[in-house]
């Protein structure tokens, strides 16, 4: 017997037929003798619709009332699922955020979970009752409803799994797992059986949007074993057909033949900014990135060349595409302080990253990447690395080619 938290996203909850499918999956998990809590999203599109109403009501809507409105989508699906389960003869009840309670802190509309009272939930689960919990919502100290920010149900599920000490948190979504790369680009991409928290964080942050990044960080912190799987596959006999996101130790013990590189991600959401002829003296870099940080603009890759004359240099960096206009604004304002000559921007770039914990103990991963791209005449415009990731910035038009040749070069083709 195991204790399982199952989470179903918006597409899995969109309409009664799909909710009945979800109920069947939950029933099968209960029939296997497991204790089950279910965390649900609102029906696909519903939260957008509710947000739309708020904007219509008032351009400067009150975030506390916004939470009251948008949290309702999950209240509907949790009630419907509990009802459907009971009609199928499965004991179940809904537990709204304030009833458990799931206590949150900081601000409305982007609250953070502080604690979850797990006693009652665990008692109900032990008694064989399925606990159906609306994702995305919690309660502030003053008793008011809060929500966690868009996509927050993944985080709710992981937090509930941590609180009830679940053996696994199964996240059912519209893809059947995490792949070595985007299967729409590389048809020979393989589904990964296991991936580490660290790798998943890197893959998520560079464009594999299977899970909300925040939920992966929480899973890593709380050591929650997460499984991503499809809610549209035939249930079958195998209870673990998706991708498991677990600690490095768990993987090392089980998979000696692991590849050096786990996956290749791409991200077309960044743009490149070059500041030309910046004075090469102490404090200049701070004068560029300080104001950008103050404007909450997230800078990713940074290159500063050594100036030939020792007097001026170019500084290149990337920011989210949606922040280019604001970045230019900030930099133009600071021009007298920074003293650059011109700003050149290029949004037609893509970041391609190879990710794998294996590279910690192996040399040559980056060299292989550069060589592989060079052989295809792909120019590298910027580079950044972490302990388990090498990223390059290239021309957007070459993204698919780069991903494909790298997938082959690192032996990932299935």
- The residue of the chain with the least Cβ separation from Mg ion equals 9
Q: How far is the CB of 252 from ligand ASP (least distance, A)?
A: 32
Binders of ligand ASP in range 149-168 (CB under 6 A) = 150-153
Among 146, 151, 161, CA closest to 113: 146
Question: Does 9 engage in binding with Mg ion (CB under 5 A)?
Answer: yes
DSSP code of 322?
A: G
| Residue 213 or 259 having the CB closest to ligand ASP | 213
Contact pattern from residue 324 through residue 363 relative to ligand ASP, giving x for each residue in contact according to CB under 6 A and a dash for the rest: ----------------------------------------
Task: Show the binding pattern over residues 27-66: x = contacts ligand ASP (CB under 6 A), - = does not.
Answer: --------------xx----x-------------------
Residues of this chain, 105-144, that bind ligand ASP according to CB under 6 A: 135-136
The span of 15-23, 147-155, 234-242, 311-319 binding ligand ASP (CB under 6 A) equals: 147-155
Q: Determine the Cα–Cα distance for residues 135 and 42; give it in Å rounded to an integer.
A: 8
Nearer to Mg ion, 135 or 356 (CB): 135
| Cα distance between residue 209 and residue 214, in whole Å | 12
Element (H, E) at 51: helix 46-57
In the complex, least distance from residue 2 CB atom to ligand ASP, rounded to whole angstroms:
24
Buried/exposed code over 276-293 (b: 16+ C-beta within 10 A; e: otherwise):
eebebeeebbeebeebbe
Nearby residues of 391 by Cβ (< 8 Å), 6 or more positions away: 206, 301, 351, 352, 353, 383, 384, 385
Chain centre to alpha carbon of residue 29 = 26
Q: Identify which of residues 209 and 362 has a Cβ nearer to Mg ion in the complex.
A: 209
Contacts of 203 (CB under 8 A, 6+ apart): 178, 195, 262, 263, 265, 355
Q: Which does 12 bind (CB under 5 to 8 A by kind): ligand ASP, Mg ion, none?
A: none
Minimum distance from residue 230 beta carbon to Mg ion (Å): 13
Going edge to edge, which strands form the sheet with 145-147? 112-116, 102-105, 137-139, 145-147
Near ligand ASP by CB under 6 A: residue from 4, 10, 97, 211:
10
SS3 state of residue 289: helix
Which listed option, Mg ion, ligand ASP, none, makes contact with residue 42 (CB within 5 to 8 Å by class)?
A: ligand ASP
Q: Which residue is it, tokens 């660290």? A: 198
- Complex with ligand ASP: residue 181 or 215, whichever CB lies closer: 215
Residues that bind ligand ASP (CB under 6 A): 10, 41-42, 47, 73, 135-136, 150-153
């Amino acid at each position: 017997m195991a204790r399982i938290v199952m989470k179903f996203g918006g597409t899995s909850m969109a309409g009664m037929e799909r909710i009945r499918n979800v109920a069947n999956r939950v029933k099968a998990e209960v029939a296997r003798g497991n204790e089950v809590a279910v965390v649900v999203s609102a029906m696909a599109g519903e939260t957008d619709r509710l947000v739309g109403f708020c904007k219509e009501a008032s351009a400067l809507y009150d975030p506390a009332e916004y939470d009251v409105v948008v949290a309702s989508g999950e209240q509907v699906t949790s009630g419907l699922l509990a009802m459907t389960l009971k009609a199928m003869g499965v004991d179940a009840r809904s537990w709204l955020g304030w009833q458990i309670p799931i206590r949150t802190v900081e601000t409305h509309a982007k609250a953070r979970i502080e604690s979850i009272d797990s006693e009652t939930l665990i008692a109900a689960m032990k008694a064989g009752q399925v606990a159906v919990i609306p994702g995305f919502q919690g309660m502030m100290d003053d008793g008011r409803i809060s929500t966690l920010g868009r996509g927050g149900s993944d985080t709710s599920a992981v937090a509930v799994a941590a609180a009830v000490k679940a053996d696994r948190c199964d996240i059912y979504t519209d893809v059947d797992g995490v792949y070595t790369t985007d299967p729409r680009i590389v048809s020979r991409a393989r589904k990964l059986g296991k991936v580490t928290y660290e790798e998943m964080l890197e893959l998520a942050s560079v464009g594999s949007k299977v899970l909300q990044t925040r939920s992966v960080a929480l899973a890593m912190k709380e050591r929650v074993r997460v499984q991503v799987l499809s809610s549209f596959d035939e249930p079958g006999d195998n209870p673990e057909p998706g991708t498991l996101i677990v600690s490095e130790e768990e993987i090392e013990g089980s998979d000696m033949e692991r590849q050096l590189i786990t996956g290749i991600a791409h991200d077309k959401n960044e743009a490149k900014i070059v500041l030309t002829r910046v004075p090469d003296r102490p404090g200049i870099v701070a004068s560029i990135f300080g104001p950008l940080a103050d404007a909450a603009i997230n800078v990713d890759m940074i290159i500063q060349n050594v100036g030939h004359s020792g007097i001026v240099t170019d500084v290149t960096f990337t920011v989210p595409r949606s922040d280019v206009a604001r970045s230019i604004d900030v930099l133009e304002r600071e021009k007298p302080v920074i003293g650059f000559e011109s700003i050149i921007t290029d949004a037609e770039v893509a970041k391609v990253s190879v990710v794998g914990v294996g590279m910690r103990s192996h040399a040559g991963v980056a060299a292989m990447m550069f060589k592989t791209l060079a052989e295809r005449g792909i120019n590298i415009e910027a580079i950044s690395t972490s302990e388990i990731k090498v990223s390059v910035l290239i021309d957007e038009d070459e993204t698919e080619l780069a991903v494909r040749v790298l997938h082959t070069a690192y032996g990932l083709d299935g």
